[in-house]
Amino acid sequence: MLPRGQQYRGFPTMDADSIIATSDRHLIPTYARAPVAFVRGEGARLWDADGREYLDFFSCLAVVNLGHAPRAIVDAIVTQANRLLHVSNLHYCEPQARLAELLCAHSFADRVFFCNSGAEANEAAIKLARRWGHSLGGRRTEIVSALGSFHGRTLATLTATGQEKVRVGYQPLPAGFRYVPYDDIAALDGALTDTTAALMLEPIQGEGGVVVPSPEYLAAARRLCDARGVLLVFDEIQTGMGRTGTLFAYEQSGVEPDLMTLAKALASGVPIGALLARDDVAACFGPGTHGSTFGGNALATAAGVATVEIMTDEGFLAHVRALGEYVFTKLQTLATRCPAIVAVRGHGLMLGVTLREPGASVVDACLARGLVINCTAERVLRILPPLVIREAEIDRGLAILEEVLSP
Ligand SMILES: *Cc1c(COP(=O)(O)O)cnc(C)c1O
């Protein structure tokens, strides 16, 4: 291993302008990007191709929860890369076995299916729920999800996503999906029937605007699913992996799902997805019923093992909860000084600040001052710092935010 800071010696070979121009010339333009090209990071700090330093309140969309270039993850990746990058799923490999075992040991689940992204994990959840419904005679095929949800961009997962805008232009869509307003128990009561296979929910809606449901909502969802014989699926792709102060957000709700999906931070930045299930439901998948060439890839699962080991270390998650309280309290104080802020919500280090006006210009102004932050659902500033951020860095980021929000 090269000493930290030296791994990028000789890079970048392109300056920021040419990285941006080349990307804009050759990439299919599915994203609206800010004109910054990052080349290096450490903890909660990032550097761009022009050598400018930034503070990270975004974690590349809740992916690098352990920060940029975390030593233990980099070591795990390098060690694994020197042995084997990939083993096909027609054979076995140790990191895949160990990550599956760790995820089961730290959750409700008995079994794991690995894939490569969040959408694929939800696609697998939908497919497993359908097979489970067919195993009961075939009446239960419908997937119920919430308005405002986000579950991915494949045809099935964008259909499960409760936002019209992601579906525009993609009809015909797969059949068998229906939506309920989020955090509305009466609506669930009306929507779960003997033709429902599964209810799919985010414990906190991420893309929808860091929407925290009332404390009784997830418990009511569990109760109704049990009463109606419906599977409960938690999409913890964004809320999972320590983000809300526990390894999985459901732990704070007092209820367990039947299925859970993970991705984003599971391997600290290496692409991965996972579907976790109880034995009885997992039994509906057998050899040949589902698969993925790269699913459970040795490099990704080695990074996943190191990630889970760090997050379940003594004191790690308690520290995340303490940091979360610290940011939340500071944001509430900021809100009293700052008429631009309507509300503050969230758990752990998944926080949303609702603004009176659309937040795009706030995001741009923060970036210009060296703070990477995100806005979702038009008016909700989303604060997702690496879980390893320091208090002094939080203070610095919030000072930038206050400067931008104060007239
Ligand atoms: C990001 C996200 C997804 C989609 O994950 P991809 O890896 O982009 O496919 C699904 N559900 C939730 C809650 C997410 O935040």
The DSSP letter of residue 183 is T
Please indicate whether residue 296, judged by its CB atom, sits closer than 6 Å to ligand 1: no
Distance in Å, CA 323 to ligand 1 centroid:
24
Cis omega before residue 35 (within 30°)?
no
Bridge partners of residue 260, in order along the sequence: 234, 276
User: Is 150 marked active-site?
Assistant: yes
Q: Provide the 3-class DSSP secondary structure of residue 377.
A: coil
Helix (H, G, I), strand (E, B) or coil at 112: strand
Residue 362 to residue 192: CA distance in whole angstroms: 41
Rama region for 260: left / alpha / beta (φ>0; ψ in -120 to 50; rest): beta
The pLDDT of residue 13 is 80
Domains of the chain and CATH, by start: 16-70+315-405 (3.90.1150.10), 84-311 (3.40.640.10)
How many angstroms is it from 62 CA to the middle of ligand 1?
10
Does ligand 1 come within 6 angstroms of the Cβ of 118?
yes
Distance from the alpha carbon of residue 76 to the mean position of ligand 1, in angstroms: 25
Question: Bridge-partner residues for 354, per DSSP?
Answer: 343, 380
Regarding the beta carbon of 217 and ligand 1, being less than 6 Å apart is answered no
Instruction: Given the residues 183, 264, 294, 328, select the one marked as catalytic.
Output: 264
Taking CA atoms, 212 is separated from 165, 182, 258, 314, in Å, by 22, 10, 21, 27
Shortest-distance atom of ligand 1 to CA 264: 7
CA distance 156 to 141: 13
Return all residues near 126 (Cβ < 8 A) that are at least 6 apart. 143, 156, 157, 160, 198, 200
Which atom of ligand 1 is found nearest the CA of 122? 10
Residue 177 is among the residues annotated as catalytic for this protein: no
Confidence (pLDDT) at 221: 98
Using a 6 Å cutoff on CB, does residue 117 contact ligand 1? Answer: yes
Helix (H, G, I), strand (E, B) or coil at 375: strand
CA of 237 to the centre of ligand 1 (A): 6
Ligand 1 atom having least distance to the Cα of 157: 10
Closest among 48, 133, 46, 95 to 299, alpha carbons compared: 95
Cβ–ligand 1 contact at 150 (below 6 Å):
yes
Cα–Cα distance, 230 to 221 (Å, whole number): 10
Active site residue 235: yes
Query: Ligand 1: which of 207, 350, 380 to mutate, most ligand atoms within 8 Å of CB?
Result: 207
| pTM tops 0.75, yes or no | yes
Looking from the CA of residue 273, the nearest atom of ligand 1 is 7
Q: Whose CA is nearest to atom 6 of ligand 1?
A: 118
In 3-state terms, what secondary structure has residue 197? strand
What distance in angstroms lies between residue 342's CA and the mean position of ligand 1's atoms? 27
Q: Which residues of the chain, if any, have pLDDT below 70?
A: 1-12
CA distances from 281 to 2, 130, 248 (A): 46, 11, 20
* Tokens 């998650």 -> residue: 317
Q: What pLDDT score does 11 carry?
A: 57
Name beta bridge partners: 372: 56
Catalytic hit among 57, 113, 150, 234: 150
Which of ligand 1's atoms lies nearest the C-alpha of 152?
Answer: 4
Query: CB under 8 Å to 373, separation ≥6 — which residues?
Result: 57, 58, 362, 363, 366, 367, 381, 382, 383, 397, 401
Contact 234 CB / ligand 1 (< 6 Å)? no
